[in-house]
Amino acid sequence: MRKILLGNSDIQVSTQGLGCMGMSEFYGEAEPLNAYQVLKEAISLGVNFFDTADMYAYGENERLLSEILSQHPAREELIIATKCGIVRDKSQPTARHIDNSPEYIKASCDRSTLRLNTHIDLYYLHRVKDDKQSIKLAMQAMAELLSEGKIRAVGLSEVSADNILFAHDCLLTYTQGRQGLSAIQTEYSLLSRDVERNGVLDTCQQLGISFVAYSPICRGLLSGAIQSKDDLVVTDFRQNLPRFNQENLAHNNQFTQALAQLAQANNCTAAQLSLAWLSKHRTNVISIPGTKRIEYLRENVAAAAISLSQSDYQHLTELSDAFIVKGERY
């Protein structure tokens, strides 16, 4: 797996990472033993970039990663990204609120460090309040964490182009020009291309910030494996996502069918073609497909070797441009 520099840092990350959220919750029951095998296999295949968050299974996802970290002989070769900012309460599992206060950020960092039993390479604000003073204070806290060596780089998730610019400038100010934002994480796939239209991708390119694409296979929709809600277990949170209600799913799978035909012509799967398009579309994009299955991990990693022709790339882009996806992302 080829490695590249994470934006505005000295951190080398694999061009494809691994989203770990689904190993602990959201996509059905957690399977820790199977998750360990997937994580080990990912490392053996050259993946070194692992994405988690403090809110995934109330910290259990971070603890899962710590088990693998403790077994790896060269911790410095693995890059761990985690997040804070979305607060959950076990007594109200569906409730969420955003906290970007400096006190919360610092306390969350300490808690995540304890669960991971190591430093944090890339630390994100999971969601960002659309308030300049809040962003300013949050970046000051992040700068202090950088100076203390608790984190190596700073990122934001699901944020506007305007707030990226502002946060980047704030962080540069607080680090005396030494370090700006390193990563912006947002959903991005052939069926989720808002970041192209709202200036987020262009802003990242201009500022030298890496763009980390989560759900690059559109939460499995682009694989073609989900033809009905019956294909999802009852506890899978996609049961409640608009794109996966039966009417919208039937419509959205029309795109997947066209994708599958092109994939067959390229001797690959629809999921692999989706990942190949993403890597060709922008040079600063790092995808982090998530999976709980070794066979899907191997399939995703193999996509890094696909050389998509310019004509196929253009055809895919035009198909995506012309298709109107039904259902919001959340």
Q: Assess contact for 14 and 1: CB atoms under 8 A.
A: yes
Residue 317 CB contacts under 8 Å (≥ 6 apart), including other chains: 277, 281
What is the residue whose two structure tokens read 């193999």?
302
Measured between alpha carbons, how far is 269 from 224 in angstroms, rounded to an integer? 9
- CA 162 → CA 69, 142, 226, 268, distances in Å? 36, 19, 36, 38
Which residues are designated catalytic?
A: 56
Alpha-carbon distances of 99 from 106, 125, 138, rounded to whole Å:
12, 9, 10
Instruction: Enter the tokens of residue 97.
Output: 């609120």
Contact status, residue 57 vs residue 30, Cβ threshold 8 Å? yes
In this structure, what is the dihedral angle of CA atoms 56, 9, 130, 138, given to the nearest 10 degrees? 80
Angle between helices 102-116 and 60-71 (to 10 degrees): 40
DSSP code of residue 241? S
- Closest CA relative to residue 81, chosen from 36, 113, 115, 121: 121
Task: With H, G, I as helix, E, B as strand and everything else as coil, classify residue 80.
Answer: strand
b/e sequence 41-51, b meaning 16+ C-beta within 10 Å: bbbebebbbbb
Bridge partners (DSSP) of residue 51 are 19, 81
Distances (CA, A) of 176 to 4, 63, 155, 167, 307: 25, 34, 18, 14, 41
